[in-house]
A and B are shown apart, each in its own frame.
Chain A
């Protein structure tokens, strides 16, 4: 940008201000690492749940495994976020953070209800998918990211599927959803962020 200060008319100055404000509003980069992390936690939790349920036959083992996985996930997500260099933090970041914090609290409460036996395990997995669908939809609306809307629909459809299949099948459905709606998009986001970082460095 050249100086040329005096050559700018009032309209040009207003236009410049509008462009700069829009750059801040539109800027938003989701952290793909968090998506991949939660995907891995869900897959590991599912495997442990399946394994321990087979070995012990205890009904409460599922909620316990998922509860521990949830806490581990939150700690790791906090660590990843603290090490992330945000180029700019704007209103979108605050909205998305608000959505995900609300989501974590809702998931924790749902998990607590499942642990107390007030929600059957199949219903719990369904609720988890439905809540995630809501989170994805809210974020997609906020950041105008249509692909995330499709993922939200995927979570909702998965939530219905989980309610219809018996036994530990909901866990398998959940894993397919995790791969398609968490891990793969997360990897795509990491790739996109690496490209942006390369561009910024260049």
Chain B
């Protein structure tokens, strides 16, 4: 099956220069994809879905924020501070381009 073939494809066969360097990181790619599926999400949901530690996730989110791929919103729910993250239009474009580029390697599946 094409999917299994693609999964078994060794990493080095990918020409990484054609891919967005920022999304090259596995965690940043996972965060971006998770945010692409929702309007916004809080830190704890992202941590659980991505499966990263708090510190690791925070540092990757900061990089995505610096690149304006991700927007951060701080608010209060009752008296509790909550931070929400959302994919920006720029981030969504970059993610779409990344998926397109990636799909070339998998025969457009």
Contacts and interface: CB of A to CB of B under 8 A. Distances in A.
The reply to whether chain A is a binding partner of chain B is yes
Interface residues of B, number: 46
B51 to A, nearest CB: 4
A13 B38 contact: no
B26 A14 contact: no
Contacts of A200: 44-45, 48
Interface residues of A, number: 37
Contacts of B40: 88-89
A117 interface: no
Given A9-B105, A10-B9, 18 more contacts: A1-B30, A3-B25, A3-B27, A8-B11, A8-B26, A9-B6, A10-B13, A11-B7, A16-B26, A17-B99, A19-B33, A20-B30, A21-B36, A24-B38, A83-B78, A85-B80, A89-B41, A94-B39
B39 A16 contact: no
Contacts, number: 119
Contacts of B38: 24, 27, 88-91
Q: Please give me the 9 A-B residue pairs with the lowest Cβ-Cβ distance, nearest first.
A: A24-B37, A11-B6, A10-B105, A20-B33, A88-B41, A11-B7, A87-B45, A90-B38, A85-B77
Nearest to A201: B44
A94 B73 CA distance: 19
B74 interface: no
Given A23-B49, A88-B45, A13 B37 contact: no
A21 B103 CA distance: 16
28 contacts: A1-B51, A6-B16, A7-B11, A8-B11, A8-B26, A9-B6, A9-B9, A9-B10, A9-B11, A9-B14, A10-B14, A10-B106, A11-B3, A11-B6, A11-B8, A12-B7, A13-B102, A14-B109, A16-B26, A17-B29, A20-B37, A20-B50, A21-B36, A85-B80, A86-B42, A88-B45, A94-B39, A200-B45
Nearest to B4: A11
B80 A5 contact: no
A25 B37 contact: yes
A54 interface: no
Contacts of B3: 11, 15
A3 B14 contact: no
B82 interface: yes
A4 B26 CA distance: 7
Interface of A: 1-17, 19-25, 27, 83-91, 93-94, 200
Contact of A6 (B11, B33, B35, B103): B11
A24 B34 contact: yes
B43 to A, nearest CB: 9
Contacts of A12: 7
Nearest to B51: A1
B63 interface: no
Contacts of A84: 77
